[in-house]
């Protein structure tokens, strides 16, 4: 029911505005406006379908863990750089803190990247301009701990337990246009694949604090030294 409602809304808009164009809106300004609306709703549908298919793959166990020794500090900096345009546009200050202990941990780098990117993207989107966002990684025993903390509006306490549900959005009118309510459901799934968890709380001073805890995978045996043909030939 949720899926059909979420898909039907943009579809109805696209059809309605396409019909209006076909009915001969000659006013170029109006045409441009309608085409813009169609483009926005189509982009939203594309996001919905992409994220729904990803959740379906995760549900079906079709995205197994692919562990690799990962420099999490580099990964966090990469996410910050990827989101550089949005961060600059809102004038946020984003700091990345990662100690030497996360320079070589064994996790699934692509999935950790998606987790962090989703959380930082949310922090950037929901924090009003000029916000402060802190992204950090640390090792706690056998666990990799990732924190994404912002100084935005936070999440009303009644909604704290529900934001990881599919399609759950705190306030659709306040939410960013194009938000699907699926991002945090994907984050939770990816964390659980790592035998981990994700939690959110509000900071006493205001703002949301997301924490992801992932079981680090045991290190591989050291690979044998590289074979160098020149050594043999002497």
Q: Is 184 in the site for ligand ADP (CB under 6 A)?
A: yes
- Of 179, 193, 201, 215, the one binding ligand ADP (CB under 6 A) is 179
Q: Is 163 in the site for ligand ADP (CB under 6 A)?
A: yes
Determine the Cα–Cα distance for residues 160 and 214; give it in Å rounded to an integer: 21
Which is nearer to ligand ADP, 105 or 209 (by Cβ)?
Answer: 209
Q: Is 183 in the site for ligand ADP (CB under 6 A)?
A: yes
Question: Shortest gap between Cβ of 90 and ligand ADP (angstroms)?
Answer: 13
Residue window 44-83: x/- pattern of binding to ligand ADP, with contact defined by CB under 6 A: ----------------------------------------
Q: Is 123 in the site for ligand ADP (CB under 6 A)?
A: yes
Using CB under 6 A, list all residues that contact ligand ADP. 122-123, 126, 150, 152-155, 163, 168-170, 175, 179-185, 208
């Amino acid at each position: 029911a949720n899926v059909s409602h979420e898909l039907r809304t943009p579809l109805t808009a696209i059809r309605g505005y396409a019909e209006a164009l076909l009915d001969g809106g000659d006013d170029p300004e109006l045409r441009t406006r309608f085409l813009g609306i169609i483009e926005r709703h189509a982009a939203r549908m594309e996001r919905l379908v992409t994220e729904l298919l990803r959740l379906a793959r995760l549900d079906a166990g079709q995205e197994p863990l692919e562990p690799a020794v990962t420099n999490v500090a580099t990964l966090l900096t990469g996410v910050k750089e990827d989101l550089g345009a949005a961060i600059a546009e809102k004038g946020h200050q984003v700091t990345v803190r990662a100690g030497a202990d996360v320079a070589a941990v064994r996790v699934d780098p692509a999935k950790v990247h998606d987790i962090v990117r989703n959380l930082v993207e949310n922090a950037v989107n929901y924090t009003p301009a000029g916000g402060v966002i802190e992204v950090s990684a640390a090792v706690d025993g056998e666990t990799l701990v990732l924190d994404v903390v912002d100084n935005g509006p936070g999440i009303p306490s009644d909604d704290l337990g529900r934001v990881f549900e599919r399609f759950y959005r705190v306030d659709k009118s306040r939410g960013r246009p194009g938000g699907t309510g699926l991002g945090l459901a994907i984050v939770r799934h990816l964390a659980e694949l790592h035998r981990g968890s994700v939690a959110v709380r509000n900071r006493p001073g205001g703002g949301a604090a997301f924490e992801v805890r992932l079981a680090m995978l045991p290190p591989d045996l050291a690979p044998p030294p590289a074979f160098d043909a020149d050594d043999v030939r002497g």
